[in-house]
Amino acid sequence: MQTIDRKRLRQLHARELQQFTAQHPRSAALHDRAAASMVAGVPMPWMARWAGRFPVYVRQAVGARIIDVDGHEYVDLCLGDTGSMGGHSPPSVVSAVQAQVARGITMMLPTEDSIVVAEELAHRFRLPYWQFTLSATDANRSVLRIARQITGRRRVLVYSYCYHGTVDEAFAVRDTAGATRSREGNVGPAVDPAQTTCAIEFNNIAQLEQALADDSIACVLAEPAMTNMGIVLPAEDYHEALRDLTRRHGTLLVIDETHTFSAGPGGCTQAWDLDPDIVTIGKAIGSGLPSGAFGLSHAVVHRLGLQRDADYEDTGGVGGTLAGNALSAAAMRATLEQVLTAESFEHTVPLATELRLSIERLIQSRHLPWNVTQLGCRVEYSFQPRAARNGTLAHQGIDRELDAYLHLYLLNRGVLITPFHNMVLISPDTTAADVALHDRLFTAAVDELFPAAVPVTPAT
Ligand SMILES: Cc1ncc(COP(=O)(O)O)c(C=O)c1O
């Protein structure tokens, strides 16, 4: 098995940084200007996470390609961290949005598009009633309130190192003594998350059983496979146990499909035949136009109706002026009807499989202690010999130095992957040649790092 020569890794990274700076004078100038008016020179803190000294500034993003202000073209395998999983500005969404923008953006009145979207989501995710928000974060915040209200219970359950958006209750981890504590770096929590939350490890049925035992948990907020630290897939029996135990203890099951939508047209809910009480989703369903949604079962909606003291229609804490606006509804309708269709996954999933296989071959031929996982059209590599079974183990496998080198190597040669962990996402516009380019570059980056591992090819 190979071990990393850290000195070599730092030298290679320094070389890539030099190349990056030399190749991006216009982005550098814009970033210098931005530093005077935006914190850290970026409109949103996550954009400071890109591997170069500054993010590249975009001139144009279309399909699976981005062109930056210095004229470099990239194969985009980040796709707005899934917001553009359907490709950048799909023509059908552009037309629908252009038409709607001229007919009214937000009216505090519904359009027919919202019905079509709700019907389509109901069909895909198997929950009958839907509400709209502006983001997946908003959807999660709303359903936590609803779950607490209808169960009369205060605490929610999440997995250590989950991510569900900027949702206070979800910034909690389980410590080695089994107690719930605030996740490191949590900015200004209103209360100690231990008061609102119980954090357990994903894939641990004993911990789940114990946490639910006293019937005090309003809901489990769960990604069906964790995606925030690489992909952590569920053990074979996990979802069955999760559903059985939550039912037995009167705890609602909320499945967050925001990222796991990569699994197929109905996310993991459809692909794995899950039976949640509530589903939340956002990002890709509107091709990146601000949109989010949550779906509710018949039973949940019935219980909502019994809550005479809860003000769902005004200032009770669910909803927002722009939520469900006509523009987002038009974007969601076009995305679901014409972009992220069942047929599109027939193109993207096999390409993702090809990408995963190419990385598996590299791992094997170079004897790397790494692994690669796939969820539909999404692939992640991680620097541990085996795929992690929970968020804490996945978190321990993060190697920021290695991430920075590999990401920058790819970027300098025309391939973007997400700045957080190592997600590679395939859109309907991604081609086999794009996947082959990633393979060539990733192999070259690895071979520069481990020159002794390169197999000797027999002379012909
Ligand atoms: C699983 C999951 N849910 C919800 C969100 C929140 O999405 P947004 O930031 O668009 O509100 C994210 C964001 O990455 C996520 O990973």
pLDDT tens digits for range 149-186: 999 999 999 999 999 999 999 999 999 999 999 999 99
For residue 380, give every residue at least 6 positions away whose Cβ sits within 8 Å of its Cβ, in sequence order, or none: 230, 231, 372, 373, 374, 421, 422, 423, 424
pLDDT at residue 308, rounded to an integer:
84
Cα(231) to ligand 1 centroid in Å equals 15
**Cα-based distances in Å from 3 to 169, 328, 362, 404:** 38, 49, 15, 17
Paired tokens of 79: 């796709």
pLDDT at residue 315, rounded to an integer:
86
Cα(16) to ligand 1 centroid in Å equals 31
Q: What is the mean pLDDT of residues 279-285?
A: 98
pLDDT at residue 460, rounded to an integer:
59
Q: Inform me whether the pLDDT recorded for 457 exceeds 90.
A: no
Kindly state if the Cβ of 256 falls inside 6 Å of ligand 1: yes
pLDDT tens digits for range 220-277: 999 999 999 899 999 999 999 999 999 999 999 999 999 999 999 999 999 999 999 9
Residue that wins the pLDDT comparison between 336 and 229: 336
Residues of the chain with pLDDT > 90, as a percent, come to 94
Paired tokens of 324: 């469900």
Q: Inform me whether the pLDDT recorded for 459 exceeds 70.
A: no
Q: Inform me whether the pLDDT recorded for 219 exceeds 90.
A: yes
CA angle 44, 46, 48 (to 5 degrees): 90
pLDDT-derived band at 456 (thresholds 50, 70, 90) equals confident
Q: Inform me whether the pLDDT recorded for 356 exceeds 70.
A: yes
Cα(163) to ligand 1 centroid in Å equals 7
List strands edge to edge, sheet with 197-200.
Answer: 129-133, 292-296, 278-282, 252-256, 217-222, 155-159, 197-200
Cα 317 from Cα 307, distance rounded (Å): 14
Tell me whether residue 457 is exposed, middle or buried, using C-beta atoms within 10 angstroms of its C-beta: 0 to 12, 13 to 18, 19 or more. exposed
CA angle 229, 383, 443 (to 5 degrees): 115
pLDDT tens digits for range 46-76: 999 999 999 999 999 999 999 999 999 999 9
Residue that wins the pLDDT comparison between 2 and 136: 136
Mean pLDDT, rounded, of the chain: 96
What does pTM read for this prediction?
0.97
Q: What is the mean pLDDT of residues 398-403?
A: 95
Q: What is the mean pLDDT of residues 130-145?
A: 98
Q: What is the sign, positive or negative, of the torsion defined by CA atoms of 135, 137, 138, 143?
A: positive
Cα(453) to ligand 1 centroid in Å equals 38
Of 268, 283, 285, 328, the residue with max ligand 1 atoms within 8 A of its CB, to mutate for a pocket test, comes to 283
Cα(283) to ligand 1 centroid in Å equals 7
* Partners of 61 in beta bridges: 66
Q: Inform me whether the pLDDT recorded for 135 exceeds 80.
A: yes
> Long-range pairs for 58-62 at CB < 8 Å and ≥24 separation?
61/88, 61/89, 62/87, 62/88, 62/89
Q: What is the mean pLDDT of residues 19-38?
A: 98
Cα 17 from Cα 398, distance rounded (Å): 21
Q: Inform me whether the pLDDT recorded for 349 exceeds 90.
A: yes
pLDDT-derived band at 420 (thresholds 50, 70, 90) equals confident
Cα 177 from Cα 181, distance rounded (Å): 10
pLDDT at residue 1, rounded to an integer:
79
pLDDT at residue 421, rounded to an integer:
87
- How would you label 118-154 residue by residue, b for 16+ Cβ within 10 Å and e otherwise? bebbeebbbbeebbbbbbbbbbbbbbbbbbbbbbebe
pLDDT tens digits for range 80-126: 999 999 999 999 999 999 999 999 999 999 999 999 999 999 999 99
Q: Which atom of ligand 1 is nearest to the CA of 138?
A: 11
The residue whose two tokens read 């107690």 is 179
Kindly state if the Cβ of 259 falls inside 6 Å of ligand 1: yes
pLDDT-derived band at 458 (thresholds 50, 70, 90) equals low
Q: What is the mean pLDDT of residues 352-366?
A: 97
Name residue 309's amino acid. Answer: D
Q: Inform me whether the pLDDT recorded for 310 exceeds 70.
A: yes
